[in-house]
């Protein structure tokens, strides 16, 4: 036998025994977003590579080693499968001048691609819902984003998430901090690991994010951003905290919160769980006031977040979710040519009435058809044989309750079931 073609490592099929949970998640999320007035934006999955280099930053893990970049050999363009959604969203907003009509509350959902080492909670094709508020200076909108997350966790039955917030200040205070960091790490050059040495002059802030235990002492004593913060950012951060307190949202301040993407400034936040092992961040975001300009648009304030759907679904399970898998109301079993004709009519009639019907296909005995009806979880079987055709009636058999089957006119079925 020829060896079959397999899916690509780190890219998962989502099969029917799981996809209903995704659908539940998506439906919940749609209602939740509507409640806050966010509107959907859909951008292509492939973009010019340059977009991501300019937005995410040249010296980030994503751009340095995680992007699926390839040459379109038909015209030699360098293209990239989107590793995240903010850059594409901002590109589209600029290209279609959406901010001309005023600030925008937007969201997107779909697959993202990063060439990482696949493991639990980390895939090469994964899925995000991203929410972006463009044209608002905040901090009210920053708070709204966080408050709405908190509501979503409740809607999904998720508990025990920890919220960490931080601030990165404005461009000037970041530049000042950067200079001080470089100076500090230069003085301790001998203690830097290879990654940190490489980042020393390109992205010293990322050194703070190092997971190398040997580096932790050095990192703990490094200059703190809080000492370099500009006053306006401090006020912004204070007001954000005020709204969160008013809304009863618990948070921890983490001034070492470094996001893996370079475009953030001021507020940053992460929602973290202890229930999923190492991949504990389920949602992360912040403000990115410089990005619009960086990507070639008019300067405009903005902030947003993205959540990982795989991790949230795993967390829902940990929190004892019980979403019932979908099952048809009725499985129609039938025999004989006239029985089949009548069964087709019944099926379409009952669907008109709003019921979910599976019409048996492929023949076979009543016994085997009833087995299928049971296995698929139908609430009722509708039996159509010679007797039923003759009487122009149907026999309805409850499969989940110990009630006797009964023959009736088709028109009586819906009422009985809905009762």
Which residues form the interface with ligand ATP (CB under 6 A)? Answer: 84, 114, 116, 121-123, 126, 128, 260, 279, 281-284, 306-308, 310-311
Q: How far is the CB of 258 from ligand ATP (least distance, A)?
A: 9
Q: How far is the CB of 295 from ligand ATP (least distance, A)?
A: 17
> Which residue, 228 or 310, has its beta carbon nearer to ligand ATP?
310
Q: How far is the CB of 138 from ligand ATP (least distance, A)?
A: 19
> Which residue, 126 or 263, has its beta carbon nearer to ligand ATP?
126
Q: What is the total residue count of the chain?
A: 419
- As a whole number of Å, the end-to-end CA separation of the chain is 54
Q: How far is the CB of 24 from ligand ATP (least distance, A)?
A: 18
Long-range contacts of 309-312 (CB under 8 A, 24+ apart): 309/22, 309/25, 309/109, 309/126, 309/127, 309/128, 309/129, 310/121, 310/123, 310/126, 310/127, 311/121, 311/276, 311/279, 311/281, 311/282, 312/25, 312/156, 312/158, 312/282, 312/283
Cβ 192 vs Cβ 245: under 8 Å: no
Cβ 60 vs Cβ 272: under 8 Å: no
Cβ 89 vs Cβ 132: under 8 Å: yes
Task: Give the pairing type, strands 265-272 and 46-48.
Answer: unpaired
Q: How far is the CB of 86 from ligand ATP (least distance, A)?
A: 9
CA distance 104 to 34: 14
Q: How far is the CB of 66 from ligand ATP (least distance, A)?
A: 8
Q: How far is the CB of 341 from ligand ATP (least distance, A)?
A: 50
DSSP 357: E
Q: How far is the CB of 176 from ligand ATP (least distance, A)?
A: 25
Q: How far is the CB of 269 from ligand ATP (least distance, A)?
A: 11
DSSP 11: B
With CB atoms as reference, the residue minimizing the distance to ligand ATP is 308
Which two three-digit tokens encode residue 275? 């229930």
DSSP E strand boundaries for 119-207 = 125-134, 162-167
Which two three-digit tokens encode residue 351? 């669907």
> Which residue, 91 or 114, has its beta carbon nearer to ligand ATP?
114
CA distance 414 to 394: 12
> Which residue, 268 or 332, has its beta carbon nearer to ligand ATP?
268
Q: Which residue has the tokens 């309750």?
A: 401
Task: Kindly give, in sequence order, each residue whose CB lies less than 8 Å from that of residue 344, ignoring residues fewer than 6 positions away.
Answer: 359
CA distance 220 to 191: 13
């Amino acid at each position: 036998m020829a060896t079959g073609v397999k899916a690509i490592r780190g890219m998962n099929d989502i099969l029917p025994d799981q996809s209903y949970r995704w659908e539940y998640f998506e439906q919940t999320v749609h209602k939740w977003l509507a409640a806050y007035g966010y509107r959907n934006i859909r951008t292509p999955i492939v973009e010019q590579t340059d977009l991501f280099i300019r937005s995410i930053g040249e010296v980030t893990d994503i751009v340095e080693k995680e992007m699926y970049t390839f040459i379109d050999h038909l015209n030699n363009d360098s293209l990239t499968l989107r590793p995240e959604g903010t850059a594409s969203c901002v590109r589209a907003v600029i290209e279609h001048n959406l901010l001309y009509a005023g600030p925008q509350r937007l969201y997107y959902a779909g697959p993202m691609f990063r060439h990482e080492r696949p493991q639990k909670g980390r895939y090469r094709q994964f899925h995000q819902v991203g929410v972006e508020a463009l044209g608002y200076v905040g901090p009210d909108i920053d708070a709204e984003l966080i408050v709405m997350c908190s509501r979503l966790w409740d809607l999904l039955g998720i508990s025990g998430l920890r919220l960490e917030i931080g601030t990165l200040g404005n461009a000037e205070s970041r530049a000042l901090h950067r200079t001080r960091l470089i100076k500090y790490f230069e003085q301790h050059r001998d203690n830097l690991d290879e990654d940190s040495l490489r980042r020393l002059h390109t992205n010293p802030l990322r050194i703070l994010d190092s997971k190398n235990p040997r580096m932790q002492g050095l990192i703990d004593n490094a200059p703190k951003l809080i000492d370099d913060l500009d006053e306006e950012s401090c006020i912004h951060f204070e007001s954000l905290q005020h709204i969160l307190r008013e809304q009863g949202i618990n948070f921890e301040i983490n001034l070492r919160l470094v996001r893996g993407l370079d475009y953030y400034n001021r507020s940053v936040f992460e929602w973290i769980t202890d229930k999923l092992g190492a991949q504990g961040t389920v949602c992360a975001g912040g403000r990115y006031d410089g990005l619009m300009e960086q990507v070639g648009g008019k300067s405009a304030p903005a902030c947003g977040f993205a959540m990982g759907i795989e991790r949230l679904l795993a967390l829902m399970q940990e929190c004892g979710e019980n979403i019932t898998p979908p099952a048809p109301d009725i499985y129609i079993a039938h025999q004989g040519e006239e029985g089949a004709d009548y069964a087709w009519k019944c099926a379409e009639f009952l669907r008109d009435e709003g019921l979910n019907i599976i019409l048996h296909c492929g023949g076979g005995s009543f016994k085997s058809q009833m087995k299928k009806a049971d296995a698929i979880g139908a609430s009722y079987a509708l039996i159509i044989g010679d007797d039923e055709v003759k009487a122009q009636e149907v026999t309805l058999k409850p499969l989940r309750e110990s009630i006797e089957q009964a023959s009736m006119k088709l028109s009586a079925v819906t009422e009985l079931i809905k009762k």
